Amino acid sequence: MHSKDTSVQLNGNRANSSNLKIGLFGIGLDTYWPQFAGLKERLEGYLNIVEQKLSKIHPSVVNAGLVDTADKAFQAGRMFKTEDVDLIFLYATTYALSSTVLPVVQRAKVPVIILNLSPEAAIDYASFNAMTDRTKMTGEWLAFCSACPVPEIANVFNRVGIKFHQITGVLHDDPECWNEITEWVQAAEVANIMAYNRLGCMGHYYSGMLDIYTDLTQQYAHFGGHIELIEVEELASLRKEVGTQEVTDRIKLFYKTFDVQEECSVEELKKSAITSVALERLVEQYKLGSMAYYYKGTGNMENEEAISSIILGNSLLTAKGVPIAGEYEIKNVQAMKIMDSFGAGGSFTEYYAMDFKDDVVLMGHDGPGHIAIAQGKTKVRPLYVYHGKVGSGLSVEMSVKNGPVTLLSVVEKIGGKLMLLVAEGESVQGSILEIGNTNSRYKFQIGARNFVNKWNAQGPAHHCAVGVGHIHSKIEKLGQLLNIEVMQVC
């Protein structure tokens, strides 16, 4: 997915690359094979079809084959553990003993998706009942018997404390089923990206903004990854190493990517170009996949200039899969990273105002915007004061593409546990505040008043991430994989 008006890519970049491995195995009962000729080979054929379909969704699939004995179950469990799979698809091809299933997932200790997939939408009853050999009839029935072992497996998994999820459908020509499978794989890819993401925290919290404070250890506990604490002086020092040609090239990139307004001075563009190049070096140095930053400034002009000229560089990085959140909003940059890893974008936003006449909520934020999901080309405007902050400089003005959107907030609850708060709405046309910030109009099915009340009632910080498309179902699956509560407002 590419933005029409920018030269940057929304997804598919290094920062959002996943090393996810999917485990797959089918189940059966070895007693059947000598009784029913060709049944095993037929079921193995179905398993191969599932592997091929999964491989088209994600290329790295570890197929342990048809597990039909306890010995094979232990072998499959060791294989999945050795291969370090992140997610297992258990394909119930026919009846199988739960004792030959449990050892596989017990040893692997990763989330399990049970595939209850019939080979066809229905048995051809007339042809089936016309068969004269009852042994062959039973073999044919067993080839359609995928639903039979699922209650037994579910019972055992529940009793031993193994979390699982079910997908029931048809092997062929079942878009609903395979869309669900695709979403589970995508959710697992995002979980994997978060597990290896390196989050940079540069500067310090915005003093007094209590809602954004967070327990970093809980971020590790819920998402994994690595958090790097970075000094503003590091960025300021890298700015000194940026060459003249690099500045020229970066300004050209600004004009290619943004709609740079005439009132933007050459001096401010140069400052922003220097910071943008330096910022990319900082990201490479620490191998960052996201960053939260804020710096009040205490008279150190080098540091203040680095931060006041950071917005254009932040916006470029955000659009390339390295989301940047201002005001040291660590929880929200996690939300932005999740949204961007799903390919939806993830722009930094907050309430601006309510329009009761049109029943919309105006939302946006100063600082970086996700320019790859902008409606048209993002404008660059000079701001002579950053409201509530030190300094002045260039800022970006954009609206999120008109159409379906999803809002996501990582909420820290009483006791420290995290929750994912989600709302689906629409980005709609209309007048915005032309103040040099990101700014959009959002309409919600439950109405602006109800949305605000229900969203606020969950106790989120005042920031959230907004992305394109309705992806609540994917976020819900991510929450289940990470064992994080997901609350949908609308």
Domains of the chain: 14-193 (3.40.50.10940), 197-488 (3.20.14)
Give mean pLDDT, residues 434-440.
79
Phi, psi of 424, rounded to the nearest 5 degrees: -110, 140
**pLDDT, position 269:** 95
Q: Which helix (H) or strand (E) covers residue 185, if one does?
A: helix 175-196
Mean pLDDT check: name the lowest of 133-142, 155-164, 273-282, 376-385.
Answer: 376-385
Give mean pLDDT, residues 338-359.
94
**pLDDT, position 13:** 55
**pLDDT, position 436:** 67
Segment 57-68, tens digit of pLDDT: 999 999 999 999
Question: Considering the entire predicted model, what is its pTM?
Answer: 0.93
Segment 200-252, tens digit of pLDDT: 999 999 888 899 999 999 999 999 999 999 999 999 999 999 999 999 999 99
Instruction: Tell me which amino acid residue 329 is.
Output: E
**pLDDT, position 301:** 87
**pLDDT, position 397:** 86
Q: Do the Cβ atoms of 274 and 309 come closer than 8 Å?
A: yes
Give mean pLDDT, residues 460-474.
96
**pLDDT, position 304:** 87
Give mean pLDDT, residues 4-20.
53
**pLDDT, position 385:** 55
Q: What is the DSSP string of 90-136?
A: EEE-S---GGGTHHHHHHH-S-EEEEEEESSSS--HHHHHT-S-HHH
- List the one residue out of 287, 245, 247 whose CA is nearest residue 271: 247
**pLDDT, position 24:** 98
Looking at per-residue pLDDT, the higher value among 351 and 115 belongs to 115
47 token code pair: 């398993």
Mean pLDDT check: name the lowest of 168-172, 202-206, 254-258, 342-346.
Answer: 202-206
Q: Say which residue the tokens 């064992």 belong to.
A: 483
Whether 1 has a pLDDT exceeding 50, the answer reads no
Task: Please state the separation of Cα 375 from the chain's center in Å.
Answer: 22
Tell me what the pLDDT averaged over the chain comes to: 92
Mean pLDDT check: name the lowest of 76-85, 198-207, 267-276, 427-436.
Answer: 427-436
Whether 302 has a pLDDT exceeding 70, the answer reads yes
Integer Cα distance of 54 and 118 in angstroms: 16
